[in-house]
């Protein structure tokens, strides 16, 4: 009996020792080894701080930025306000710097050729496995890798084909008309009014997603959008804090709330999917919305291969729908609101855009062929996305020991592609990099970038955002219709405070003076 007891005790002790060693290795031994390896190759950054790395300073600087606003006329203030910590690291340590996401080192890459390699070589550089709590916001195509990503991309691609997007133009037009109708009701007898356009733009892009993705309206999907916005705030809190493995299972207030929101969103989307499938089986309704096209594509693949594994499960369809709701609304609303703010400031470009819209489209009609000829509007959108991209950074992770631009990076190293720092970089864009100058795109993106990978607001390469054309078409229709009806300028009450809530948003709204034309 004593022998058995001793054996059990020794086994338990060994398990405890092994677990302790694994923990010590994870939070101290490995980070210090990697720090030495990276510093020997020329990477600079703060010294590794036990457990938290740079997370405390990172979070503190975000909170400081949220408590301030900046002068819209001082372009030099934008980077220190929006991406304070990474901008400080660049200023302090140069173009090859390390930041510590807890005990994980993240190397920043700003060389165009290295960026190209990272975004092209999908088998060498994959998405980082971030805080598991973020899965409650969205997973799907944006997080998948390998065969699963390829399968989903193939199944979803038909929904974003240019011919399918053309069929969605009436839905875009209807949603925009309803928003403009609300604005016209706000106009006073003198033909003008002050209006915070930000909530209207959020409602517009949400309505468009409801109509084009699910064949419903914003009012029907309003609860889902409210929940996803609430989830975005919790997700941002999670990004700003250190994640301890296993802590997502603890019954904390945030964990419980995120789980409850996810449960409600899933059930709502599941109901929409079942209603759509029921209508499809009965031969009712149409398949022109994104969900219908995706389900039809999925069904065809399963039938052709006589195998369910070639298609998506209901769980996977729900995840893609969550992604439609989140990414489809966030990207376009961010682009539109910053476009209106910058055109309100730069009246000469607003006038040029309006002249082009009226010349090409007239003062009433919106047609797809005419939209393709709006060169000035395209230039403006490209420049807005350069200065105020919806998302300010991409991250990848090495999946094996690899050489990148002369650096030897071991497996598991995180790589940051700081979109906003690169978009503002004077070495890449010239001394006027922080200025709003749409003319730099007058001959297209390739000419403006000199064929370098230095402009990627929607990502780049095989994993470029599948909804890019959808977002740009929606934004183009909305801006054209606004320019046909109104001129606008910044209100004295507008406070310039670009703020990251996963996407880049105006913290205090977008107060403009609208003038009816």
Binding site for heme: which residues? 465
User: Residues marked as binding?
Assistant: 465
Pairing of strands 414-417, 104-108: parallel
Handedness of CA 358, 360, 363, 369 (dihedral sign): negative
- Exposed/middle/buried for 104, CB within 10 Å: 0-12, 13-18, 19+? middle
For residue 95, give the H/E element and its range.
none
Give me 482's structure tokens: 């606004």
Region for residue 121 given its phi and psi (left: phi exceeds 0; alpha: psi -120 to 50; beta: otherwise): beta
DSSP symbol at 48:
P
Residues 195/196/200/202 CA torsion (nearest 10 deg): 170
Pairing of strands 97-101, 104-108: antiparallel
User: Under a CB-based contact definition with an 8 Å cutoff, are residues 99 and 86 in contact?
Assistant: yes
For residue 514, give the H/E element and its range.
strand 511-516
Q: For residues 217 and 472, give the distance between their C-alpha atoms in angstroms, rounded to a whole number.
A: 20
Q: For residues 454 and 113, give the distance between their C-alpha atoms in angstroms, rounded to a whole number.
A: 9
């Amino acid at each position: 009996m004593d022998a058995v007891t001793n054996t059990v005790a020794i086994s338990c002790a060994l398990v405890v020792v092994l677990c302790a060693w694994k923990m010590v290795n994870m939070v101290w031994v490995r980070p210090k080894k990697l720090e030495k390896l990276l510093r020997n190759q020329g990477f600079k950054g703060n010294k590794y701080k036990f457990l938290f790395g740079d997370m405390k300073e990172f979070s503190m600087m975000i909170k400081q930025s949220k408590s301030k606003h900046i002068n819209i006329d001082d372009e030099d203030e934008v980077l220190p306000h929006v991406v304070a910590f990474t901008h400080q690291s660049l200023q302090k340590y140069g173009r090859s710097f390390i930041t510590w996401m807890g005990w994980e080192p993240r190397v920043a890459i700003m060389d165009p050729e290295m960026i190209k390699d990272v975004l092209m070589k999908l088998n060498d550089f994959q998405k980082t496995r971030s805080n598991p709590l973020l899965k409650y916001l969205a997973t799907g195509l944006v997080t998948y890798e390998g065969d699963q990503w390829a399968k989903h991309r193939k199944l979803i691609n038909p929904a974003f084909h240019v011919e399918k997007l053309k069929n969605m133009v009436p839905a875009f037009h209807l949603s925009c008309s309803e928003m403009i109708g609300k604005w016209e009701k706000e106009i006073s007898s003198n033909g003008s009014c002050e209006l915070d356009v930000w909530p209207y733009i959020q409602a517009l892009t949400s309505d468009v997603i409801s109509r084009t993705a699910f064949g419903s309206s914003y009012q029907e999907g309003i609860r889902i959008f409210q929940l996803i916005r609430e989830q975005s705030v919790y997700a941002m809190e999670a990004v700003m804090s250190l994640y301890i493995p296993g802590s997502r299972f603890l019954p904390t207030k945030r964990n419980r709330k995120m789980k409850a929101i996810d449960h409600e969103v899933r059930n709502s989307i599941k109901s929409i999917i079942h209603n759509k499938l029921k209508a499809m089986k009965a031969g009712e309704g149409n398949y022109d919305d994104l969900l219908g096209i995706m389900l039809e594509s999925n069904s065809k693949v399963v039938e052709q291969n006589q195998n369910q594994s070639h298609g998506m499960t209901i769980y996977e369809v729900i995840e893609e729908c969550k992604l439609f709701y989140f990414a489809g609304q966030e990207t376009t609303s961010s682009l539109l609101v910053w476009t209106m703010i910058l055109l309100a400031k730069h009246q000469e470009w607003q006038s040029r855009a309006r002249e082009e819209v009226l010349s090409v489209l007239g003062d009433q009609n919106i047609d797809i062929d005419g939209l393709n000829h709006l060169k000035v509007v395209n230039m403006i959108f490209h420049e807005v996305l350069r200065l105020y991209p919806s998302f300010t950074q991409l991250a990848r992770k090495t999946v094996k020991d690899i050489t990148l631009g002369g650096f030897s990076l071991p497996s598991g190293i995180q790589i940051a592609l700081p979109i906003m720092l690169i978009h503002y970089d004077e070495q890449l864009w010239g001394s006027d990099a922080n200025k709003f100058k749409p003319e730099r795109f007058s001959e297209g993106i390739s000419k403006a970038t000199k064929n370098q990978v230095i402009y990627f607001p929607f990502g780049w390469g095989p994993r470029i955002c599948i909804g890019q054309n959808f977002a740009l078409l929606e934004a183009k229709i909305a801006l054209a219709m606004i320019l046909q009806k109104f001129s606008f300028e910044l209100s004295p009450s507008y406070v310039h405070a670009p703020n990251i809530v996963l996407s880049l948003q105006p913290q205090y709204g977008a107060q403009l003076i609208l003038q009816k034309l």
